[in-house]
């Protein structure tokens, strides 16, 4: 699959549409989800053009991967989510209902997040 440069997160990275930014560094951007599913719901995305966790883990550089995952942890700390706990989630592909084809990790916190996954 080819990366679609017109996906919504690519437009956010180019500054073509706004976001409620909570973190930015050389490799990574984090911003609040437009349709929050928990009191804290932040999306963390690499600045590089990777469509999914599969693409990112296979093709990103060590610097991008280290920077990205350090940023995920920092954002959770900055959001005050560590003491009560939080969940990270990366929907990947059709069965996971990935909607935006730019790799992203969701951070959810601020309430009891319930069980891990919908039962079959």
Cα distance between residue 52 and residue 94, in whole Å: 11
97 touches ligand 5GP by CB under 6 A: yes
For ligand 5GP, which residue of 58, 99, 117, 120 counts as binding (CB under 6 A)?
Answer: 99
100 touches ligand 5GP by CB under 6 A: yes
For ligand 5GP, which residue of 34, 66, 82, 84 counts as binding (CB under 6 A)?
Answer: 34
Q: Residue 45 phi/psi, 5° resolution?
A: -130, 145
Cα distance between residue 85 and residue 50, in whole Å: 28
For ligand 5GP, which residue of 10, 29, 30, 31 counts as binding (CB under 6 A)?
Answer: 31
118 touches ligand 5GP by CB under 6 A: no
Q: Which two tokens stand for residue 36?
A: 């929050």
Active site residues: 104
What binding mask, one character per residue, do residues 39-78 give for ligand 5GP by CB under 6 A, x or -? ----x-----------------------------------
- 113 burial class (0-12, 13-18, 19+ CB within 10 angstroms)? middle
92 touches ligand 5GP by CB under 6 A: no
Q: Where are the alpha helices (DSSP H) in the chain?
A: 8-13, 53-59, 62-78
Residue positions counted in the chain: 120
**Contact positions vs ligand 5GP (CB under 6 A):** 8, 19, 31-35, 43, 91, 97-100
């Amino acid at each position: 699959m080819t990366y679609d440069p017109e996906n919504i997160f690519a437009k956010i990275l180019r500054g073509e549409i706004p976001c409620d930014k909570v973190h930015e560094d050389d490799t990574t951007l984090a911003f609040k989800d437009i349709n929050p599913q928990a009191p804290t719901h932040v999306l963390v995305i690499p600045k590089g053009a990777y469509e999914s966790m599969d693409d990112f883990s296979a093709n990103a550089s060590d610097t991008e991967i280290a920077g990205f995952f350090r940023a995920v942890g920092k954002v959770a700390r900055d959001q005050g989510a560590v003491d009560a706990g939080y969940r990270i989630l990366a929907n990947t592909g059709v069965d996971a209902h990935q909607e935006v084809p730019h790799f992203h990790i969701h951070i959810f916190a601020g309430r009891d997040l319930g069980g891990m996954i919908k039962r079959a």
